[in-house]
Amino acid sequence: MISKMEEQRKWKNVNNEEGRNNYREQKKEMKRATDKAKKGCHGSICDRIMELQRTGHYDLMCVNTKGLCWKGNVIQMTGIDCSQGNIIMNQN
């Protein structure tokens, strides 16, 4: 991901058609890569929460669930999906 960031920075200040097109392409690739990384991270945390639920550790499950939600202007989660795509928990 760092190499992609450096490549994007390289094209940012090139002020011609080729530079703009390459910058847009690099920006799209970075967005895809970061979205994939976030989804993988949230998936592993959700798997951990479901494992805690199966073993009956509801106190640890609540702590891990609260760790997913950031308050304020940064991020606000809308729900946790299970592996089949169904919403397990809604937070609004």
pLDDT digits (tens, 9 = 90+) for 26-51: 899 989 988 888 888 778 888 888 88
Beta-carbon contacts of 78 under 8 Å, excluding residues fewer than 6 positions away, are 90, 91, 92
Q: Is residue 86 part of a domain?
A: no
Number of structural domains (the chain) is 1
Q: Is residue 91 part of a domain?
A: no
Q: Is residue 92 part of a domain?
A: no
19: containing domain: 2-67
d(CA 41, CA 44) in angstroms, rounded, equals 5
The pLDDT assigned to 28 comes to 92
Cβ(90)–Cβ(76) below 8 Å = no
pTM assigned to the model: 0.51
